[in-house]
Amino acid sequence: MKISKRHMAGAVGIAAAIGGIVWLVPARSIRREPHLQAPAHLPALARGLLKQRMARHAEAMLDITWRTLVLDYGGVAEACQPILDEPQLGRVSSESADVLNAELPARFFVLQSELRERTRLLQKVAPERDAGRLADAYGQLFRTCMSCHQIYAEFPPAGGPHGPRAPEHQSADGAAN
């Protein structure tokens, strides 16, 4: 059976189209990452700044999580550095009413300091190559992240626009430091 040039060109065109579609469509569906809803009352500038900050922390935490899970001790210590290098937001004083800082409850600043302390602890524990201590330090860091996310997601809490007056020394797990 002889194939005409016209039929051959059509078959090649169809094969190319199918190949292009297969090449363009990912093998797996692309998942949309879950995210926290921003509190509607926060000013757009504050939402934007927090979104950027949270995105950087999420990236670092994903790296920390995977490196912890596979016991990449040196990698854990290295992955902690972006969180430690992140500038901290300052509490609002009566003289300066920074747009973002003025909108955040006092508890946020406690957790921000705790995030740094617990990240530093994880970084310190990693070189010891003790999986149990590494898991404990990671768990403390993760608890701090979740506590901050709870404040963000539920803000403003029942205590009013600046949140409940939590003791300055209270940790993410509610225990006194």
Q: What are the domain boundaries of the chain?
A: 37-154
Class of domain 37-154: mainly alpha
Q: Does the reported pTM lie above 0.85?
A: no
pLDDT for 81:
97
Per-residue pLDDT of the chain (177 residues; tens, 9 = 90+): 566 666 556 555 565 556 555 555 555 555 666 777 777 777 777 778 788 888 899 999 999 999 999 999 999 999 999 999 998 877 655 555 555 666 777 888 899 999 999 999 999 999 999 999 999 999 999 999 999 988 887 766 444 444 443 444 455 555 544
CB of 67 closer than 8 Å to CB of 79? yes
The count of other CB atoms within 10 Å of the CB of residue 56 is 14
The number of CA neighbours under 13 Å toward the Cβ of 83 is: 30
pLDDT for 48:
80
pLDDT for 168:
43
Distances (CA, A) of 73 to 7, 92, 119: 61, 38, 14
At 3, list the tokens: 């194939």
Q: CA 65 to CA 114: how far, in whole Å?
A: 18
Q: Which residues pair with 176 in a beta bridge?
A: 170
pLDDT for 164:
43
Burial annotation 136-173 (CB, 10 A radius, 16+ → b, else e): ebbebbbebbebbeebbeebbeeeeebbeebeeebbbe
Tokens 């404040």 sit at which residue?
151
Q: CA 176 to CA 35: how far, in whole Å?
A: 30
